[in-house]
A and B are shown apart, each in its own frame.
Chain A
Amino acid sequence: MAALEEEFTLSTVPLGAGPNGLLGVEQSDKTDQFLVTHGGRTVILYKVSDQKPLGSWSVKQGQIITCPAVCNFQTGEFIVVHDNKVLRIWNTEDVNLDKVFKATLSAEIYRIHSIQGTEPLVLFKEGAVRGLEALLAEPQQKIETVLSDDEVIKWTKVFMVFRHPVLIFITEKHGNHFAYIQTFSSRTLSKYTLFHGQEEKSVIQNFTASVDRKFISLMSLSSDGCVYETSIPIHPRDPDENQRVVRSLLLKTVVAGNARSGVALTVLDQDHVAVLGPPLPASKECLSIWNTKFQTLQTSRELPQGTSGQLWYFGENLFMLHGKFLTVIPYKCEVSSLAGALGKLKHSQDPGTHTVPHFVNWETSRGYGFGSQNSEQSKRILRRRKIEVNVPPPAFEQLLSTIKKDSEKDIEVELCKFLAVKRTPDFHTIVGDIVLELLGRHTTEPSFYPRNSLMQLIQTHVLSYSLCPGLMEAALEKTDVQMLQLCLQQFPDIPESITCACLKLFLSISDDSLQETEINMESVSDCSDPVQEKMDEQTEILQNGFNADEQNCDSCDRKLNQKPQDAAEETTSCPVVPKRAALLNAILHSAYSEMFLLPHLKDIPAQHVTIMDWICLLLDANFTVVVMIPEAKRLLLSLYKFVKSQICICSELNKIEVSFRELQKLNQEKNNRELYSIEVLELF
C-alpha cells in the first residue's frame, strides 16, 4: 500500500515561485544528499534527513545557470552548466565556482545526465549526445545537429539497460511530438513519432518514463487531465525508419482538465505514479499517488500554497515546491498483497513509528542500549514538531500527581513539559501509565475526559491497545470518533470486538454529528470537495476505473464505469458522506483477523447492511482485478497444471489400489483352504 509520510521543508530561504525558482534536484553520490539548483546562480547540497545544507556554490554576477547541477558518480565531482555552453566541475572542498575547472563547449547544452554506473552524458540542444570524458578531452569539437529546424527538446531522461545507458528525449515541432532513443551499446539513435490517437486536441504537459527489459514505457500527462502510456522499443527493428508509436489511456482524469500550471507526473515504481496538480477544477493543488494496475487512488496530500509543476523522485523522497519552499515528502510503498488489500497488513504511516516499538520491549527495559540512532531519530521528530527542548524536565511523579487532582488545562501544560523531555527507553510504558492514570480518573469522575491530553499521548506513536486497555472503550462510550480514528490508525493490536464496536459506531452515528466533529480526512482528502460533498462526485473519484475495451468488460467493470449521474441511483454507489468514509477507511486499514471479526460482524444492525455490502463490493472488485491481471495468469496457469497433475496422481493411485486388491484376492484364495481339513499340530 502506497503511503505518503509527513512532509518537511528543505530550505528555509524562500525560492522564487514558479518554474524559474527551481531548476532541478539531483542525487549526489552519497545517499541522503541532494543537489538543488536554484534558478539563477546557486547550487546547494542538502542532507535531506537532517534538513540542512552541507554546501552552497554560486556563479558570478552576470552568469546564469542554465542546467541543473549533477554529480559525476564515478569521480564524486559536481558539474554545472552556466550560460548554455560553459561547464564547471568542482567538488565539496571548493568554495568559489569561479576558480574551479571550466570548459567552454562549441554548442549549447540542454541537459547533463548522470546516473550510477556510467559517465555523465551531455545532451545538446540540437539533439547530439556526448560522453563527458570525450567532451572534456576536446571541448571545442564540432557538435552535429540532429534535430530539424523549429524542433525543440521538451523532456529527457536516461536509463541503464543491461549495464548500458539509454537516453530518451522528447521533442516538439509544430505541436507534434517525437521521441528519440539513443543507445550507447550499439550507438544507434532511433526516432519515433508520438501518435496522439483520438485525443488530438489535448496538449501534452508533462512526461515521465520507466524502463522494462525491452521497452521504455513513456507516460504523458495531457491537458485533458488524463495519463497516457506509450511503449517504445529500446532496440528498434529498423533504426533508420521513422516509426510511429500510439499512446493509450492509462488513467482517466487524474487532474482537472483545465489545469494550466502546476501539473507534473512521475513514475514511482512499476505500479505507481505520482501526480501533481488540482484533482478538481476548483480544488487546491494536490500530490496524488495512483496505482496504475488497479487504477485506484492510493493516497494524496493537499498542497494549499500551490506548486510549480515540478516533481522529482529519488530513493524514497518526492521533491516539489510548496509555495516558495522546496518540500520533501517521503513516499513508502509496501509490496501489494492480498493481506494489504484486506487491511490485515499494518503499515505505519508516519516516520519514526517503525523504529519505535509498538509493544513493550523487554530488551530495552532491561537496559540494553536503545541505540544512538533512535535517540537521534526522536530528536528529529521533536525538531519537526518544533517543540522547545530546553524546558526543565518535570518528574514523572509530578505529572501523575497533577493528573490526580488538577484541571484538564493544568494537565495539558504538564504533559507538554513532560513530552518535551528527551525520551527514555521505557518511554512507551510511561506513556501507557499516564493514559491509564487519566482513564482511572475518568472512571471515578465521569465528567473528567482529558481529550486533548489523550490525543496528544496517542500521537506519540508509541501506544498500543494493550498498553492502555480501556482507552478505546472510553472513547466508544463518549462517541469520540476522532480519537477512535486515531487509535485505529495507530494501534497495531486492537481486538476484533473493539474494531467491530467502532464499525458499529461509525455506521450508526448521525451525519449531523459527524459534520461537527473534526476528522482526519487524509485518506479520502481528494474525494471531498469542501464546497459540495455530493455523492456523485464521490463515486466519480472512487470509481476511477476505466476500461480501454468497453465491449469486453464484464458487468462488474461496467458498474464501476458508470457515469456519475447514474451512480446516485445505483445501490452500489457510495452511500456515505466523506467523513464517514474516512472513518470506515480507518477500519479497513486496521489489522484484524477475519476469523475473529466475523462473529462480531453478525451483530451489525440490518439498516447498516447496505453500507457493509458496498464496502464488500469495493473489495471484491479489487480482487476481481487481481485475478484478471496478466501477472496472475501465470499463477493461475501453474495452479491449473498442479491440480491436473494431482488428479493424475490420484487416478494412478486408484489404479494401483485396484491392482493391489486383486492381488489380495488372489492371495486370499490361495490361503483359503477347504472348509474342512485335518492337520497336524505340534505344540512346543
Chain B
Amino acid sequence: MGEFKVHRVRFFNYVPSGIRCVAYNNQSNRLAVSRTDGTVEIYNLSANYFQEKFFPGHESRATEALCWAKGQRLFSGGLNGEIIEYDLQALNIKYAMDAFGGPIWSMAVSPCGSQLLVGCEDGSVKLFQITPDKIQFERNFDRQKRSAVHKMLVDRQYMGVSKRKCIIWGVAFLSDGTVISVDSAGKVQFWDSATGTLVKNHLIANADVQSIAVSDQEDSFVVGTAEGTVFHFQLVSVTSNSSEKQWVRTKPFQHHTHDVRAVAHSPTALISGGTDTHLVIRPLMEKVEVKNYDAALRKITFPHRRLISCSKKRHLLLFQFAHHLELWRLGSTVATGKNGDTLPLSKDADHLLHLKTKGPENIICSCISPCGSWIAYSTTSRFFLYRLNYEHDNISLQRVSKMPAFLRSALQILFSEDSTKLFVASNQGSLHIIRLLEGSFKHLHTFQPQSGTVESMCLLAISPDGNWLAASGTSAGVHVYNIKHLKLHCTVPAYNFPVTALAIAPNTNNLVIAHSDQQVFEYSIPDKQYTEWSRTIQKQGFHYLWLQRDTPITHISFHPKRPMHILLHDAYMFCIIDKSLPLPNDKTLLYNPLPPTNESDVIRRRTAHAFKISKIYKPLLFMDLLDERTLVAVERPLDDIIAQLPPPIKKKKFGT
C-alpha cells in the first residue's frame, strides 16, 4: 500500500473550553451547548451527534444561561447582562438586549414558550414577551434581598430553602407542585410547593450538586455533581401494579472527572457537560428501542471542524486557538527506517509565529495558503489577511490593509492550490472570490446565495486545477461553481445528513463528500453525477464497523501520484481508500493492523480490501499528505488536556 514518513505532531496545545450550559430542544432533537469562553455549539442528535453549527465566543460574553423558546429560537444570557438571540440560519447573533439587572444567572421559558424569564444579579426576575422577531420587556418581579443565584425553571420564585451557606444551584418545578432543589451541600431535596415542606431528601454527594434537568414527561430527572458524577432519578411505582409512585435514585454514572456544570434530559438520553470539557450523551437503555450502536455512550471532546491548516510547499502548520494563531515549521530527517521506527531528526520543528487577535472576539476560521505566503483569519466582525515573507530563517509579516467592507466576517476561508485566489464564505450566504497579488488583492466575484435561502456555507473545496469550487451549508446540498465562467455549475442532490468534509480530486475533478452518518460519496463534477465507484459502494453498503465510528470525518485529501487513493480521517483513525481494490463486506476484517508475515501473496491479495486503516494516531485532529511519501498527523492526547485543567475533587474509590 505504501510506506510513509509521518510527522507526528503533539505540540498543538489546544484545550477546549469547559461546558457551562446545555439546552435540549425536543422539537428539532438538537442540543445547544455553551462553553465558558462564550462559544455556543449546536449538535444535531438525529445526525449522529454532529456539531453542525457554532457561534464564536466573545471575551466579555460569558454565557450563564441558555434556553430554547418558541420551537427553535435560541436565547442566552450571560455576565454582561445581555439577552442574546442567535440566528441559526445565518449563524450570527440576531440581537443582544440589555436586561438592566446586571449579570444574568438564570433563564427559563414559560411552558407555552411565549415568555422568557431571566434571573439577574440584582435579585430581580424579568419577564419578556417573545415577539416574532424580538423580545419585549413586560414586567419586573419583586427583587429579593439576596441575588437570584439559583436557576428558575418556572415562573415562580421558590423561597422554601434557606440553609445558611448552602447555595441552591438549581430548582425544578414539576406540574404536580413538587419542587426539586439541588444544592451545594450535596443534597437533592423534594419539596411540597403548596406547604413549603420538605418531602424527601437524598444526600448524593460530598460536594455540590450543580445541575438538574427534568424530562418532559416529568417521570425522570438527572443531576450532576462537582465530583463528576451524574445521578439518574426516576419516578417508579412502589409496587408492581400500584398507582402510587415515588422518586428513586436509580443509576449513578461517572463519566466526568470534574464538575458537571450542566445536564439535559432528552427523551432517550442523559446529557451532561462540565469543566472537563467533555460532552457526554448517555442513552437510557430502557428508552432505546433498537439496541444498535446509537445506544452506546457518546463522549464528544473535540470540535467537529478543522482548526489546523497546512502549507504543503513549505511544510508549515497553522494552528487556530480562540484568540491567537500559531505557525510552526516541521522538522526534517534524512534517515530511513522500517514500519514503526522513529527516525532521528536532523532538524526539529520551529515555532515561527504567534499571531494574537485584536479585540475580544474569538477566531472563527483561519487558513494558510499552500505556498505559505498568505495567512487569513476572521472573527465575527473583522477579516484579516497577512502576507508572509521568508528570507532565509527570518520571516516578516505584513498585514494587508483596506479590506473591502463586504469582507467582514467569514465562516470559511480557502486558498487555491496555486495560492493566487482566496475564497471566503461569508455569514450572509455569499461566496467571495479574491485574486491575490503581491502585497495586494482584487475582488473578482461574489456568488450570491440561492434566492430564498440565507443558509451560510461552512465548508469549501477547490479543485487543484482551480476550475471548480464546491461549497456546502449545513443542510442543503453541495453547490459546485465554475470559477472560469463564474457561475453555478451544479448542485449535488441534498442528503439527509450534514456534510462533514469536502474535497475535489486532482485530474478527475471528482468531488468526495463525507456525511455525518459516515457515508462517503464520490460525485463527478464534469459528468454531474455520482461516479461508478460511489454507486457500487452505495449498493453494497459500507462495512458495519465503518458506520459505527462515532466521530465525523473532518478532512479529505488525495495522493498526487495515485489517483485511485482517497485519504480521510476522523478523530480515531486515518484511512486510505484504494478504489482499485474490492470493497469489504461485513464478514471481512475491516481493520487489520498486523503486517502479513509468511503468508503467500495470494492470500494477501485475497484478503486485501479498499480500506487501509491506521489507528496509531489518536485523538487525531488533522492529517494531510505533504508530498508523495510524507504525511503530517496532529494529535492531541487527552492526558495533556487533563493536565491543563484544574485538579478535580479527589474522591476515594473505596470509602474509609
Contact: B4 with A681, CB < 8 Å?
yes
A-binding residues in B (CB < 8 A)? 1-11, 238, 244, 330-333, 336-343, 345, 348-349, 576, 592, 594-596, 612-614, 616, 631, 637, 639, 652-656
Quote the shortest CB–CB distance from B450 to chain A (angstroms): 41
Contact: B5 with A678, CB < 8 Å?
yes
CA distance A684 to B616 in the complex (A): 13
CA distance A647 to B654 in the complex (A): 9
Among A645-684, those with CB < 8 Å from B are 647, 649-651, 653-654, 657, 668, 672-684
Contact: B348 with A682, CB < 8 Å?
no
Identify 8 residue pairs between A and B in the complex whose beta-carbon atoms are under 8 Å apart, listed by A's number. A653-B653, A654-B653, A654-B654, A672-B637, A673-B10, A675-B11, A678-B331, A680-B4
Contact: B656 with A650, CB < 8 Å?
yes
Contact: A668 with B10, CB < 8 Å?
no
The residue on A at minimum CB distance from B344 is A678
Other A-B pairs, 12, CB within 8 Å; known A672-B637, A679-B340, A680-B341: A596-B238, A599-B244, A647-B656, A676-B7, A676-B345, A678-B343, A678-B345, A679-B5, A681-B6, A682-B4, A682-B595, A684-B1
For A548, the chain B residues whose CB sits under 8 A away are none
How many A-B Cβ pairs are below 8 Å? 99
Quote the shortest CB–CB distance from B244 to chain A (angstroms): 8
Contact: B331 with A676, CB < 8 Å?
yes
For B11, the chain A residues whose CB sits under 8 A away are 675-676
The residue on A at minimum CB distance from B639 is A668
The residue on B at minimum CB distance from A655 is B654
The residue on B at minimum CB distance from A648 is B656
For A681, the chain B residues whose CB sits under 8 A away are 3-6, 339-340, 614, 616, 631
A606 interfacial contact with B, CB 8 Å: no
Contact: A679 with B8, CB < 8 Å?
yes
Contact: B333 with A678, CB < 8 Å?
yes
Contact: B654 with A678, CB < 8 Å?
no
Quote the shortest CB–CB distance from A249 to chain B (angstroms): 47
Contact: A680 with B340, CB < 8 Å?
yes
The residue on A at minimum CB distance from B9 is A676
Quote the shortest CB–CB distance from A308 to chain B (angstroms): 54
Quote the shortest CB–CB distance from B280 to chain A (angstroms): 22
For B637, the chain A residues whose CB sits under 8 A away are 672
User: Which 9 A/B pairs are nearest by Cβ-Cβ distance?
Assistant: A682-B339, A653-B654, A683-B1, A650-B654, A675-B11, A683-B612, A650-B656, A682-B3, A676-B349
For A13, the chain B residues whose CB sits under 8 A away are none
Contact of B614 among A647, A651, A683 (CB under 8 A): A683
How many residues belonging to A are interface residues under a CB distance threshold of 8 Å? Answer: 24
Contact: A676 with B653, CB < 8 Å?
no
Quote the shortest CB–CB distance from A488 to chain B (angstroms): 22
Quote the shortest CB–CB distance from B458 to chain A (angstroms): 30
Quote the shortest CB–CB distance from A405 to chain B (angstroms): 38
For A647, the chain B residues whose CB sits under 8 A away are 656
Quote the shortest CB–CB distance from A127 to chain B (angstroms): 66
Contact: B238 with A682, CB < 8 Å?
no
CA distance A595 to B242 in the complex (A): 14
CA distance A680 to B337 in the complex (A): 6
For A654, the chain B residues whose CB sits under 8 A away are 652-654, 656
Quote the shortest CB–CB distance from A676 to chain B (angstroms): 5
Given A668-B639, A677-B345, check contact A657 B654 (CB 8 Å): yes
For A595, the chain B residues whose CB sits under 8 A away are 238
For B337, the chain A residues whose CB sits under 8 A away are 680
The residue on A at minimum CB distance from B652 is A654
For A651, the chain B residues whose CB sits under 8 A away are 654, 656
For A677, the chain B residues whose CB sits under 8 A away are 8, 342-343, 345
CA distance A599 to B199 in the complex (A): 11
Quote the shortest CB–CB distance from A207 to chain B (angstroms): 54
Contact: A678 with B342, CB < 8 Å?
yes
Contact: B3 with A680, CB < 8 Å?
yes
B-binding residues in A (CB < 8 A)? 595-596, 599, 647, 649-651, 653-654, 657, 668, 672-684
Contact: A679 with B341, CB < 8 Å?
yes
For A668, the chain B residues whose CB sits under 8 A away are 639
Contact: B2 with A673, CB < 8 Å?
no
CA distance A650 to B592 in the complex (A): 42
For B596, the chain A residues whose CB sits under 8 A away are 684
Quote the shortest CB–CB distance from B337 to chain A (angstroms): 5
Given A647-B656, A650-B655, check contact A684 B6 (CB 8 Å): no
CA distance A397 to B656 in the complex (A): 71
For B614, the chain A residues whose CB sits under 8 A away are 681, 683
The residue on A at minimum CB distance from B2 is A683
Quote the shortest CB–CB distance from A229 to chain B (angstroms): 46
For A596, the chain B residues whose CB sits under 8 A away are 238
Quote the shortest CB–CB distance from B198 to chain A (angstroms): 13
CA distance A647 to B337 in the complex (A): 55
For B349, the chain A residues whose CB sits under 8 A away are 676
CA distance A676 to B634 in the complex (A): 10
Contact: A676 with B4, CB < 8 Å?
no
CA distance A678 to B5 in the complex (A): 6
CA distance A647 to B614 in the complex (A): 47
The residue on A at minimum CB distance from B7 is A678
Quote the shortest CB–CB distance from B336 to chain A (angstroms): 8
Contact of A680 among B9, B339, B592 (CB under 8 A): B339
Quote the shortest CB–CB distance from B570 to chain A (angstroms): 16
For A679, the chain B residues whose CB sits under 8 A away are 5-6, 8, 340-343
Contact of A684 among B595, B631, B639 (CB under 8 A): B595
The residue on A at minimum CB distance from B13 is A675
CA distance A653 to B654 in the complex (A): 7
Contact: B10 with A678, CB < 8 Å?
no
For B8, the chain A residues whose CB sits under 8 A away are 673, 676-679
For B639, the chain A residues whose CB sits under 8 A away are 668, 672
- Name the residue in B1, B11, B338, B656 with the highest tally of chain A Cβ atoms < 10 Å from its Cβ: B656
CA distance A514 to B613 in the complex (A): 88
- Name the residue in A595, A651, A657, A681 with the highest tally of chain B Cβ atoms < 10 Å from its Cβ: A681
For B244, the chain A residues whose CB sits under 8 A away are 599
CA distance A672 to B338 in the complex (A): 21
CA distance A614 to B138 in the complex (A): 57
For A673, the chain B residues whose CB sits under 8 A away are 8, 10, 342
The residue on A at minimum CB distance from B239 is A596
CA distance A193 to B651 in the complex (A): 68
For B6, the chain A residues whose CB sits under 8 A away are 678-681
Quote the shortest CB–CB distance from A671 to chain B (angstroms): 9
Quote the shortest CB–CB distance from A45 to chain B (angstroms): 55
Contact: A683 with B655, CB < 8 Å?
no
CA distance A230 to B596 in the complex (A): 92
Given A681-B4, A681-B631, A684-B612, check contact A675 B340 (CB 8 Å): no
CA distance A599 to B244 in the complex (A): 10
Quote the shortest CB–CB distance from B112 to chain A (angstroms): 34
CA distance A164 to B536 in the complex (A): 97
CA distance A491 to B337 in the complex (A): 88
Contact: A657 with B653, CB < 8 Å?
yes
CA distance A672 to B642 in the complex (A): 14
The residue on B at minimum CB distance from A668 is B639
Quote the shortest CB–CB distance from B416 to chain A (angstroms): 29
Contact: A680 with B654, CB < 8 Å?
no
For A682, the chain B residues whose CB sits under 8 A away are 1-4, 338-339, 595
CA distance A677 to B347 in the complex (A): 10
Contact: B2 with A676, CB < 8 Å?
no
CA distance A164 to B612 in the complex (A): 90
The residue on A at minimum CB distance from B10 is A675
For A675, the chain B residues whose CB sits under 8 A away are 9-11
Quote the shortest CB–CB distance from B370 to chain A (angstroms): 21
CA distance A654 to B653 in the complex (A): 7
Quote the shortest CB–CB distance from B564 to chain A (angstroms): 14
CA distance A595 to B652 in the complex (A): 33
CA distance A684 to B607 in the complex (A): 11
For B2, the chain A residues whose CB sits under 8 A away are 682-683
For B238, the chain A residues whose CB sits under 8 A away are 595-596
For B339, the chain A residues whose CB sits under 8 A away are 680-682
For B7, the chain A residues whose CB sits under 8 A away are 676, 678
